[in-house]
Amino acid sequence: MKKKVVLYKKIPEEQLNRLKAHFELSCFEGINEQNRESFLGALAQAEGLIGASAPMPAAILDKASKLKAISTISVGTDRFDLDYLSARSVPLMHTPSVLTDTTADTIFMLMMCTARRAVELSNMVREGRWQASIGSEHFGVDVYGKTLGVVGMGRIGYALAKRAHLGFDMKINYFNRSANEKAEQELGARRTDLTTLLKTSDFVCVLVPLTLETEKMFAKAEFEIMHREAIFINGARGKVVNEADLIDALQNKTIRAAGLDVFEMEPLPGNSPLCRLDNAVLLPHTGSATLETRLKMARTAVDNLIAALNGDIAKNCANTHLIK
């Protein structure tokens, strides 16, 4: 008899068919008020759960008494309570490696767009406001040869630093719980405390996971340490930043600009003050949003669930202490 699995996000047909071949599948394209009861009913019988984007707190997963494994189609795990899942011995599988380069590309694009005011100047052309050669009031700043501060030197942080150092001759500062010897040896990266990084970096790129320790890690005090020409990039999670304080820093020119792919509330409301700031480049959480990468993520998530429900969690398990 096939194991019962609940899918709560639309995925490519090829991967959907793989799930159907292996499991008795209940499908939901997201969770909403209209399908919530049906979803909870299916979850009560499920041994496996796969999807992304929707929060899955303990209050929901308590109803899944037969649950043996979860596979999230993402690298981030903040939609889940890992301690709760670990206490139940339920592995949470994720997709940490397949989106590294694509996300690093996105973050570097944000660096370039903010430095050279690409969105602001593009809008000027589109709106017919380009009437003569631009003057200093529209000049950007160089990226080449500047100093990049990476907060969170994991896989994506290293990939970003590699692009910056080898492609743009940038000096690399980083703040991380542990030393990244590869970054130091191959890229000349310098590990510093956070205050030093903020004081000495022209670009500050945040790539830490969202935890109790990192929530609102960046607020008024941190922006005031940065120099006035510094550019802030958030490719982590919106709640790592106190958004109101960031808005104040941009409005008051405490820092030069910000490039943001994530926000405290997503989707970002159209009436957010961020939407009215020329010195903010805003993306709709697109870090991994390429056709190739999203296909790889879906395939990896399906691979992960099949393996986990067959007792193999050696690869891509977020609660690693469950691995024997």
- CA distance linking residue 8 with residue 14, whole number of Å: 16
The tokens for 245 are 């304080």
Q: Tell me if residue 285 is catalytic.
A: yes
Domains with residue ranges and CATH for the chain: 3-98+292-322 (3.40.50.720), 100-282 (3.40.50.720)
Q: Which listed residue (14, 266, 276, 292) is catalytic?
A: 266
237, 243, 256, 299: which one is catalytic? 237
pLDDT value for 1: 87
Nearest-CA neighbor of 236 among 274, 257, 270, 263?
Answer: 263
Helix (H) / strand (E) element for 36: namely helix 36-43
pTM for the model = 0.91
pLDDT (0 to 100) of residue 108: 98
117 is catalytic: no
What are the pLDDT tens digits along the chain (324 aa)?
899 999 999 999 999 999 999 999 999 999 999 999 999 999 999 999 999 999 999 999 999 999 999 999 999 999 999 999 999 999 999 999 899 999 999 999 999 999 999 999 999 999 999 999 999 999 999 999 999 999 999 999 999 999 999 999 999 999 999 999 999 999 999 999 999 999 999 999 999 999 999 999 999 999 999 999 999 999 999 999 999 999 999 999 999 999 999 999 999 999 999 999 999 999 999 999 999 999 999 999 999 999 999 999 999 999 998 987
Angstrom distance (rounded) from CA 224 to CA 158: 26
Cis bond upstream, residue 267 (ω within 30): yes
Annotated catalytic residue, options 18, 94, 285, 299: 285
- Mark whether 266 is an active-site residue: yes
